[in-house]
Amino acid sequence: MAGASDEGTAKFAASTKSGAVGDHFRIAEGLTLSSLGLGTYLGDADDATDAAYGSALVEAVKRGVNVIDTASNYRHQRSERVIGESLAELESEGFSRDQLVISTKGGYIPLDENPPPDLEAYKQARFFDRGVFAPEDVVSRSHVLTPSFLEDQLSQSLSNLGVSTIDIYYLHNPEAQLAAVDRAELAVRMRAAFEFLEQAVADERIAHYGVASWQAHRVEPTAPSYMSLVDVEGWAREVAFEDHHLRFVQAPYNLAMTEAFTVQNHEIDETPHSLLQAAEALEVHVIVSAGLAQGRLTSGMPDWLEKVFKGLSTDAQRCLQFARSTPGVTTALVGMKSVEHVVENLQLAAVEPTRIEDFLQLFEVDATE
C-alpha cells in the first residue's frame, strides 16, 4: 500500500461522517490531518489488547481520525502489527490507505511479541550475529541510532504495518544518546541518521521524517537531555539543504506538561522561542503526544477548567480540547484502546477548537478559585 496523499486525505476530511467542523482538520505538507490522532503506546502485549486497539482504531477512523501513531518497540511490535491488520478492515469500510497518515518510530531495540527469557542472547542472535549493529553502538542497553539499525527497523516496520510507505518516520528519543556521547558526537550520529532517512525518502519508503522526543525539546538548555530544534533542523539542512524532509516533530504536551507552549528554550537569531514558535519559524509541524498524560488527566481536574472549555462534559474532553486548541499544534495524540473512549473523545470533532483569546485565559485563571 502506498502512503497518504493530498487528494486522499482531503477526501477523508470532506467525506467523513463524524460531523467534523471547522478546524478539526489541518494542513501539513499538503496532507489534511485530523486534530486528534490515535496513539498506541500503552497496554499489555497480549491478544486482548490487540483486539481492543483494532476495534478502537476502526471506530476512531469512522469518527474522523486519520492520524495513527505507533513505534516499533510499542508492545513488542504488536501495536504496529495490529494497525497493519486493521488497514484491511478499514479498506472494506471504504477507507483507502491514501486517506490515512501513519507514523512510526525507530531507535529502541524492540522485542518480538513477548519478552525473551534471555535478553542478551536475543540481542546476540537477532542483531549482533546479523551485523545489524555492534554491542558498542548500544546506549543504556536499549537505544541505537546507527543507519544499519534504522534500515533494519524501517524494513521491519514496513512489514509489520503491511505498507510500502510510512508517512512520518521519527527518530525515537534521540536524546537518549547523550547518556553515552557528547554533543559533537551526537551531531555526527544525527547527520548519519538523516542521510539514511533522506535516502529512504528517495526510495519512497517514507514520505517525511522527524524527531519524537520525551525530554529533549521541553527541558532547559542546561539540562543533560536538552536538544535544540534549531540544531536538529540544521543537521537535516546540512545533509539535504533546503530540500530536506525533516518536517515533523513530536513532543509531549498536555495540561500537566505545558513546556512546548510556555518555555522559551529554543533560540533563533538571538531571540528565545518556545518549541511551538521555533517549529513554526523552521516550517516544522508539531504533533503532540500524551494528550491525557497517559490517562492521568481523565478525572479529578479543577472545576475552573469549565470556565475556559465551556460546553464539554468530561475532563478528558477538556484536556484534549486544550491540546488541540494550542496555537501551533497540528495534531494531539491520545491513546485509545476502547470504543467507549473513542466515542467520548471524538465528540470533539464536532466542536470548534477554543478561540485563542479564550485559550489564553487558562494561563491567567487563579487555580485557587
139-182 pLDDT, tens digit each: 999 999 999 999 999 999 999 999 999 999 999 999 999 999 99
Q: How far apart are CA 344 and CA 293, in angstroms?
A: 17
Residue 261 has pLDDT above 80, yes or no: yes
Beta bridge partners of 101: 67
Q: How far is CA 357 from the centre of its chain?
A: 27
Q: How far apart are CA 361 and CA 302, in angstroms?
A: 15
Who's near 162: CB < 8 A, 6+ residues apart?
1, 84, 85, 87, 88
pLDDT in tens, 58-112: 999 999 999 999 999 999 999 999 999 999 999 999 999 999 999 999 999 999 9
**What average pLDDT is seen over the chain?**
94
Q: What are phi and psi of 13, to 5 degrees?
A: -65, -35
Predicted confidence at residue 368, as pLDDT, reads 39
Three-state SS at 365: coil
| Confidence label for 369 from pLDDT (cuts 50, 70 and 90) | very low
Q: Which domains are present in the chain?
A: 6-115+142-361 (3.20.20.100)
**Percent with pLDDT over 90 in the chain:** 87
Contact predicate 162/1, CB 8 Å = yes
Q: How many CB atoms lie within 10 A of CB 355?
A: 10
Q: How far apart are CA 171 and CA 277, in angstroms?
A: 21
pLDDT in tens, 193-242: 999 999 999 999 999 999 999 999 999 999 999 999 999 999 999 999 99
Residue 329 cell numbers, joined = 499544534
Q: Dihedral sign for Cα 251, 257, 259, 260, please.
A: positive
Residue 42 has pLDDT above 60, yes or no: yes
The secondary structure element, H or E, covering residue 187 is: helix 183-202
Predicted confidence at residue 17, as pLDDT, reads 62
Beta bridge partners of 139: 143
DSSP class of 117? S
Q: How many CB atoms lie within 10 A of CB 262?
A: 14
DSSP 139-177: BTTTB---HHHHHHHHHHHHHHHT-S-EEEEEEE-GGGG
Average pLDDT over residues 244-266: 97
Residue 302 has pLDDT above 90, yes or no: no
Average pLDDT over residues 260-272: 97
**Percent with pLDDT over 70 in the chain:** 98
